[in-house]
């Protein structure tokens, strides 16, 4: 009996050492939550044309949380009805976040056919609402020749934003680098920020293009806090390769920007990488970065 008792005590003592080790491991695993990282589908544009369903499935497999699209036309998304598109994204475990669409004014804004323009927007907004979008983003505009033309666009954006708000959506403008030139002595981007209503128009800052325009994203966060509800996280190629973009500083100041969602876009790929390999490298860059929080929307 004595030998059995000693053996039992030894087993219990070993168990006491093993259990704390298991308990220490569990919190580390629990801390590794899935980060909210979205993808602009323009990043895989050619793959989508070749195989929409297969490409969407691979984007989800990489780990992306959801998508922003660049494939709306005539009430359809990549040729799918709003309900079909929404289902295709949700079926692979992602969510529909936002969409890039544009309806420019006439070359002379005063000659714009407003009946056709607002009919187009009414159809587009309804389709985006049915698809489950949170945001509509105007992705590009021609460079206005005068401040009067730029003001016409600001007024236009305010009106679109009002319509989007009424439908439960938010409307924003996405920059490139041409917005950082002067028009009649006014910096175009600053003029737009100052002449659009924050309640109706947010700005989707493309951090790479802003840098290419000679500006610092964080300076704009501080000058216009809360105006940048979406950020396009972009680099010259895959994220982190060029060294041009201070992603750590951007993410550390994201609260000031007002950003709720971070969206990866890869416009150009390193030679030898496929688009899917490229977006995976960019996803891994953010997923592994200690300064990227799990969520900015909560």
Instruction: Evaluate whether residue 149 is within a structural domain.
Output: yes
Instruction: Evaluate whether residue 160 is within a structural domain.
Output: yes
> Any idea what DSSP says for residue 80?
B
What is the number of structural domains in the chain?
1
Distances (CA, A) of 10 to 14, 19, 20, 21: 6, 14, 16, 17
Instruction: Evaluate whether residue 30 is within a structural domain.
Output: no
Q: Token digits for 194?
A: 């100052």
**What pLDDT is stored for residue 76 in this prediction?**
98
pLDDT (tens digit, 0 to 9) for every residue of the chain, 298 residues total? 444 444 444 444 444 334 444 444 444 444 568 999 999 999 999 999 999 999 999 999 999 999 999 999 999 999 999 999 999 999 999 999 999 999 999 999 999 999 999 999 999 999 999 999 999 999 999 999 999 999 999 999 999 999 999 999 999 999 999 999 999 999 999 999 999 999 999 999 999 999 999 999 999 999 999 999 999 999 999 999 999 999 999 999 999 999 999 999 999 999 999 999 999 999 999 999 999 999 999 8
Going by C-beta distance under 8 Å and a sequence separation of 6 or more, which residues neighbour residue 127?
A: 72, 75, 76, 77, 82
Q: Token digits for 220?
A: 């704009």
- 42 burial (CB, 10 Å; 0-12 / 13-18 / 19+) is middle
**What pLDDT is stored for residue 10 in this prediction?**
43
**What pLDDT is stored for residue 229 in this prediction?**
98
**What pLDDT is stored for residue 7 in this prediction?**
42
Q: Token digits for 163?
A: 């319509």
- Residue-number span of the structural domain to which 188 is assigned: 40-288
Instruction: Evaluate whether residue 17 is within a structural domain.
Output: no
Instruction: Evaluate whether residue 29 is within a structural domain.
Output: no
**What pLDDT is stored for residue 298 in this prediction?**
87
* CATH number, residue 76: 3.20.20.150
> How far is residue 123's CA from residue 139's CA, in Å, rounded to a whole number?
18
Measured from the Cβ of residue 220, the count of other Cβ atoms closer than 10 Å reads 22
Taken in order 111, 119, 175, 190, the sign of the CA dihedral is positive
**What pLDDT is stored for residue 33 in this prediction?**
86
**What pLDDT is stored for residue 100 in this prediction?**
98
**What pLDDT is stored for residue 16 in this prediction?**
39
**What pLDDT is stored for residue 31 in this prediction?**
52
Instruction: Evaluate whether residue 73 is within a structural domain.
Output: yes
SS3 of residue 76 by DSSP: strand
Helical pair 114-130 and 82-90, crossing angle rounded to 10 deg = 40
**What pLDDT is stored for residue 19 in this prediction?**
40
Instruction: Evaluate whether residue 24 is within a structural domain.
Output: no
Q: Percentages helix, strand, coil for the chain, rounded to the nearest 5?
A: 50, 15, 35
Instruction: Evaluate whether residue 33 is within a structural domain.
Output: no
**What pLDDT is stored for residue 11 in this prediction?**
40
């Amino acid at each position: 009996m004595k030998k059995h008792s000693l053996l039992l005590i030894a087993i219990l003592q070993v168990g006491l050492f093993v259990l704390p080790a298991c308990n220490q491991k569990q919190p580390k695993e629990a801390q590794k939550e899935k980060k909210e990282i979205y993808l602009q589908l323009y990043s895989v544009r050619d793959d989508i044309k070749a195989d929409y369903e297969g490409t969407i499935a691979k984007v989800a497999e990489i780990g992306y949380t959801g998508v922003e699209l660049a494939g709306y036309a005539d009430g359809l998304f990549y040729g799918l009805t709003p309900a079909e598109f929404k289902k295709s994204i949700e079926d692979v475990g992602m969510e529909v976040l936002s969409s890039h669409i544009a309806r420019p004014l006439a070359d002379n804004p005063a000659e714009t056919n407003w009946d056709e323009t607002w009919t187009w927007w009414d159809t587009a907004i309804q389709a985006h609402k049915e698809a489950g979008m949170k945001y509509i983003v105007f992705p590009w505009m021609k460079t206005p020749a005068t401040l009067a033309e730029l003001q016409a666009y600001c007024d236009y954006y305010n009106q679109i934003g009002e319509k989007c708000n009424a439908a439960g959506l938010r409307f924003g403008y996405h920059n490139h680098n041409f917005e950082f030139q002067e028009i009649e002595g006014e910096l175009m981007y600053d003029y737009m920020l100052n002449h659009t209503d924050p309640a109706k128009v947010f700005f989707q800052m493309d951090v790479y293009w802003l840098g290419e325009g000679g500006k610092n994203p964080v300076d704009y966060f501080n000058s216009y806090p809360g105006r940048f509800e979406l950020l396009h996280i972009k680099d010259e190629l895959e994220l982190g390769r060029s060294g041009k973009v201070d992603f750590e500083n951007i993410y550390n100041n994201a609260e000031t920007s007002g950003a709720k969602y971070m969206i990866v876009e890869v416009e150009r790929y390193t030679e030898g990488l496929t688009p899917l390999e490229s977006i995976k490298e960019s996803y891994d860059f953010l997923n592994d970065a200690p300064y990227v929080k799990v969520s900015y929307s909560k």
